[in-house]
Amino acid sequence: MPERLAPPLCIVGDVHLSEASPRSVSEALAGLVEAHSGYEIVLNGDTFDLSSDPADRPAAQSVTHILAAHPEAREALGQHVERGGRLSVLAGNHDAAVASPDVTAALCQVLGGRVEVAPWFLRRGPVHIEHGHLYDPDNAPTHPLAPWSLATEPLGVALTRRFVSRAGVWDFAHGDETTPLDGLLKTFRLYGVRAPLKVLHYFATAAALTREAGRQAGIDEERAVGARAIAELARRTGVDADALHALALASRVATHHDRGATFQRLYLDRSLATLIVLGALGAAALGSTAGAGAAALGAGYLGWSISRGTNRYRGLLERRLDDAATRIRELTGARWVVFGHSHRVTEQSGALNPGSFAFPDGPRRRFVSVDAGGVAELRAI
């Protein structure tokens, strides 16, 4: 007999609230919450764009300021909690710090009631809910149960905080599949005479991230702390500890743990090869035979790299999430897996992703509704 849920669920992901978010996002979220007063509201990761804030601003302060800037959402969520409604918040890659005790406490204080915060996933009967960044090497934490640390932020988050936010290039904030040439042309089209400074800022940041990759202090300790925390999570959720260990191992391939992977993911290999070709061609024009040889080598590498795909990451995230959903169902017995993170709506047997609530990939914002019988479906407002 199917396992029943009480209360039913309303799951929304990737709201990406910041102090600068459009009011329309806050109003839409408030409307969704008000329309589901008898439901458990689940905010499935990246509810807050904490990575857009300066590194020296406490995350608890950021959450407080963000909610103050969006009174519609704050009041709707607060009223939901005050009336006895259940509100659960999962940590995502851009708001991993929400699971820190001080941030959770600030969230409860602002909303005036109890809020459940989960660093990794929630289980509600046959439904497994998690943000999904664990299965994305560019945004995966060292371990999903390790406390958040600025020093060990994954590559995508660190790039947002150090480059996108500081340089003000928000047009690239959700361009995870942008190629070097597309990015360069778009930069000059958007920023004109300021474009060269934006480009230099990017390469300086990329070089620093590559230099640090795999050398961040605390990686080994995070793995150990996370591994020790699995037994307690297994006890609370009823999910087998061995299955959780197997899922947590996905974070071992995190891009920011490997210098070579970081170098390639930031397309520094193609950028360096292009510079070699241009420099060598200039030298060859002056009569240097070595310059001609270097140009040939650089061009050869570029040709080989591009032959493997102009955009070598296109569609990769969706495939990884599909594989992860299958593995979660196999290892944990879940009937439904609900992800976010990719900002793309997907629906397949046993797995749903409503896409980003803040940045819908269509005319309507989507969410997942799970009824008392444990049946999940995509809906839109």
Say if residue 202 is in the same domain as residue 220: no
Does residue 4 form part of some domain?
A: no
Tell me if 257 sits within 8 A of 214, measured CB to CB: yes
Say if residue 225 is in the same domain as residue 324: yes
Tell me the percentage of the chain whose pLDDT exceeds 90: 71
Say if residue 242 is in the same domain as residue 130: yes
Say if residue 193 is in the same domain as residue 83: no
For the cut 90, the answer to whether the pLDDT of residue 157 exceeds it is: yes
Say if residue 187 is in the same domain as residue 247: no
Structure tokens belonging to residue 344: 């793309």
Inter-CA distances, 246 with 132, 154, 169, 251, 324, Å: 15, 20, 38, 10, 11
Say if residue 207 is in the same domain as residue 89: no
Tell me how far apart the alpha carbons of residues 350 and 332 are, in angstroms, rounded to a whole number. 13
Q: What pLDDT is stored for residue 236 in this prediction?
A: 94
Does residue 3 form part of some domain?
A: no
For the cut 50, the answer to whether the pLDDT of residue 141 exceeds it is: yes
Say if residue 51 is in the same domain as residue 108: yes
Structural domains in the chain (count):
2
For the cut 70, the answer to whether the pLDDT of residue 209 exceeds it is: yes
- Residue 10: pLDDT band by 50, 70, 90 thresholds? very high
Q: What pLDDT is stored for residue 1 in this prediction?
A: 43
For the cut 60, the answer to whether the pLDDT of residue 298 exceeds it is: no
Say if residue 338 is in the same domain as residue 322: yes
Does residue 297 form part of some domain?
A: yes
For the cut 70, the answer to whether the pLDDT of residue 289 exceeds it is: no
Does residue 1 form part of some domain?
A: no
How wide is the angle at C-alpha 280 spanned by C-alphas 275 and 284, nearest 5°? 155
Number of other residues whose CB lies within 10 A of the CB of residue 179: 18
How wide is the angle at C-alpha 32 spanned by C-alphas 27 and 36, nearest 5°? 145
The chain-wide mean pLDDT, for the chain, equals 89
How wide is the angle at C-alpha 53 spanned by C-alphas 51 and 54, nearest 5°? 115
Does residue 2 form part of some domain?
A: no
Say if residue 207 is in the same domain as residue 266: yes
State the residue range of the domain holding 293. 155-213+261-307
Does residue 48 form part of some domain?
A: yes
Say if residue 243 is in the same domain as residue 278: no
- Residue 299: pLDDT band by 50, 70, 90 thresholds? low
For the cut 80, the answer to whether the pLDDT of residue 277 exceeds it is: no
pLDDT: which is higher, 176 or 348: 348
**Which tens digit of pLDDT belongs to each residue from 32-64?**
999 999 999 999 999 999 999 888 899 999 999
Tell me the percentage of the chain whose pLDDT exceeds 70: 84
Q: Domain ends where: 278, 307, 336?
A: 307
